[in-house]
Amino acid sequence: MDEVTKIIDQWNEVRPDLDVIPMSLIGRLIRVSNHLSKEMEKTMAEHGLNFASFDLLATLRRSGTPYRLSPNDLLKTMMITSGSMTNRIDQLCKKGLVERIQNPEDARSVFIQLTEKGFNIIDAAVTDHVTTQHRITGSLSEQEFHQLNQLASKFLQSFE
């Protein structure tokens, strides 16, 4: 019995008039998400990164050669505010992981590009991140994994 079952049982006891079945799914999803986040944060911290810095560096890395995007393209991909983006970029520039490159076609704009140091760190971090993800999903059989992944995708599509 997990903690959510106990919570649902308590609600059923004190408020039998409420249908708290959706609470069970949402509660479990939130708790699973929290556990997953904690495990992945540990891996990122081993590389001196947090979720925010990992996200930006990984976005640049997966964009392919030359590993650079405009701030607007980063904003579209990462779904954060421009103020948050500027702060992330500034912090990563200070660490020497990204740099601002003048856009040769428009002197008023810049690209954000991975440095060699940034490339090496995110490449190692992504490798370890994937290993962590395999470990934390390892309690599911291959069939369970695919079934849960399909259901999660269906559920997510109802929001996106």
pLDDT in tens, 23-36: 999 999 999 999 99
As a whole number, mean pLDDT of residues 135-148 equals: 97
Report DSSP state, residue 113.
E
Q: Is residue 22 part of a domain?
A: no
User: For 70-77, what is the mean pLDDT?
Assistant: 89
pLDDT of res. 78: 79
Asked, for residue 104, whether it belongs to a domain, the answer is yes
Can the peptide bond before residue 22 be classed as cis, meaning omega within 30 degrees of 0?
Answer: no
- Please give the mean pLDDT across all residues of the chain: 95
Is 106 inside a domain boundary?
Answer: yes
Higher local confidence (pLDDT), 1 or 128 = 128
- Is 9 part of any domain? no
Q: Is residue 27 part of a domain?
A: no
Give 129-137 contacts, CB < 8 A, sequence gap 24+: 129/40, 129/43, 129/44, 129/54, 131/43, 132/39, 132/40, 132/42, 132/43, 133/40, 135/39, 136/35, 136/36, 136/39, 136/40
- On whether the CB atoms of residues 136 and 36 are closer than 8 A, the answer is yes
Model pLDDT, residue 24: 96
| pTM beyond 0.85, yes or no | yes
Q: How confident is the model at residue 124 (pLDDT cuts 50, 70, 90)?
A: very high
pLDDT at 82: 84
**Pick from 76, 95, 104, 87: which is nearest to 52 by CA?**
87
| Any domain includes 60 | yes
Q: Do the domain assignments include residue 8? A: no
Q: Is the dihedral of CA 73, 76, 78, 82 positive or negative?
A: positive
Residue 20 falls inside a structural domain? no
47: buried, middle or exposed (CB in 10 Å: 19+, 13-18, 0-12)? Answer: buried
- Domain region containing 108: 49-125
Please compute the mean of the pLDDT values over residues 57-74 and round it to a whole number. Answer: 94
Which pLDDT does position 102 carry in this prediction? 93
- The average pLDDT across 129-158 equals 97
Q: Is the pLDDT of residue 93 over 90?
A: yes
How many structural domains comprise the chain?
1
CATH number, residue 110: 1.10.10.10
- Helix (H/G/I), strand (E/B), else coil: 99: strand
Residue 149's pLDDT is what? 96
